[in-house]
Structure 1
Amino acid sequence: MARPLYGGATVIHSVPYYAQWASPDLVPAIIGGAMRAADDPLWSAYGAKSPQEYEWWSWRLCGMACLRMALGFWQQPVPTPMALAAECVEAGAYVKRPDGLDGLIYAPFAVYAERRWGLHAEARPQLPGSEIPELIASGRLLLLSVHPSIRELSPSPPHRGGHLVLAVGTTEDHVVIHNPSGFPGHSQEFARISWDVLDRYYAGRGVVLGNGRRRSTCP
């Protein structure tokens, strides 16, 4: 990835952080297998009906964590992840299968984000890294498709993409992200990823979100 030319300016939006699990401090233990997500003591805050439902969905809702962060930043209501997931299933942004879940599917998600929340939303199957600084400077937040091992800066991820993070800022040398599956004190909030390192993980696609004029309310 060519290093973006951005004149050395730093723009970092003060976006609140939400993990894709109910307890951000337990993310390393859950991902590492030291505990099951179903044993998260805060599982009910997720909006799930049972620990088992929470466990199944929590591994799959990085996109809903990113949406919750964006809604909080733009002072919208912030529903539970399960409430948002149900709406996205209805909107076609998630498709449940007997053996898993398809999504987040960008185009129907963008339509949903605009209709439901009054956001400006654009699905970008091609989103070059060189465009990220200008978009951030214009007030946008970006859902970026990266390999999940970006949380540990693995030197050799097996492929790019598969996990969504929220780009909340840029510097001359870095993109600044909130990672829903990041590790506390290390790669959760305002994690700085150098542009050349980002190239190992970033699939070059995502969703651009911007603040709209209309405020929505929870039904």
Structure 2
Amino acid sequence: MQQSGVPYFSQWETPDMTLPVVAEGAQALLGDPLWRHSGAATIEEYVRWAVNVCGMACLKMILAARGEIHPTLELARACTAYGGYVVNDVDASIKGLIYAPFVRFVSDRFALGAETMTGVQATALPDILSKRRFFIASVHPGIRWPEREPPAKGGHLVLVTAASPQTIRFHNPSGHDTASQADVTLPLAAFDRFFANRGISVDG
């Protein structure tokens, strides 16, 4: 497949922070020198959110494809106001992305048509992408290492930009190197091992 032409953004401001985060947890992001670009008020706010904003990174890429650049945490705050994230100040946990509020958020704020989809077979993705430009897919984060067998499906979001009956192409907000970040191309059957059969179709 050809390159998508869709700008790539990581969920970390420094894209090569993935392996430190995998090894050390979110605290590794205290060493991200570009954290201010996220729109966070403090580095602690950045660290708290960055591990939860794969969906906002996908939205940022969709918006960038039409020429709009928004800081990731500004998108996250706005989405939270719609219920797309639930923030627990007692234990500092963040729940989300919650699909239905996200769909309302992108419709209201950016005039993007979007639809929550469940029970989606990987083989249906080419047809879905013939109707809408993007599909935000729930996959296991281990998809950055497609040769490995995932322990489960889902838990992470990637931005699918093209699919054929044989092949799929996507941007992964937590890829760990160039090959696993932008315009990743995999056999559809390999993608299916990580795919939780749900996601959000979005207009361009």
Aligned-pair identity (%): 35
Pairing 1:87–2:87 present: no
Q: Which moved more, 1:80-89 or 1:149-158?
A: 149-158
The Cα shift of 1:197 comes to: 1.1
Q: Which protein is richer in helix relative to its size? A: 2
Q: 2:185 aligns with which of 192, 206, 215?
A: 192
- In the superposition, the TM-score normalised over structure 2's length comes to 0.91
- In the superposition, the TM-score normalised over structure 1's length comes to 0.85
SS of 2:64's partner is: helix
Q: 1:145 aligns with which of 123, 133, 138?
A: 138
**Relative contact order, CA 8 A, sep 6+: which one is greater?**
1
Pairing 1:128–2:128 present: no
Query: Which residue is equivalent to 1:55?
Result: 47
Q: Which moved more, 1:167-176 or 1:139-148?
A: 167-176
Query: Which residue is equivalent to 1:119?
Result: 112
The Cα shift of 1:185 comes to: 1.9
Pairing 1:73–2:65 present: yes
SS of 2:19's partner is: helix
Write the distance in 2 (CA, Å) between the matches of 1:93 and 1:125: 17
Amino acid at match of 1:56: R
2:123–2:188 CA contact under 8 A, matched in 1: no
Q: 1:28 aligns with which of 19, 30, 35?
A: 19
C-alpha RMSD of matched pairs (Å):
1.8
Which residues of 2 match residues 167-186 of structure 1 at below 5 A? Answer: 167-186=160-179
Q: 1:45 aligns with which of 37, 53, 60?
A: 37
Q: Which moved more, 1:183-192 or 1:37-46?
A: 183-192
Structure 1 runs (4+) greater than 4 angstroms displaced: none
Count of residue pairs brought into register by the alignment: 201
The Cα shift of 1:139 comes to: 4.6
Query: Which residue is equivalent to 2:8?
Result: 17
The Cα shift of 1:172 comes to: 4.3
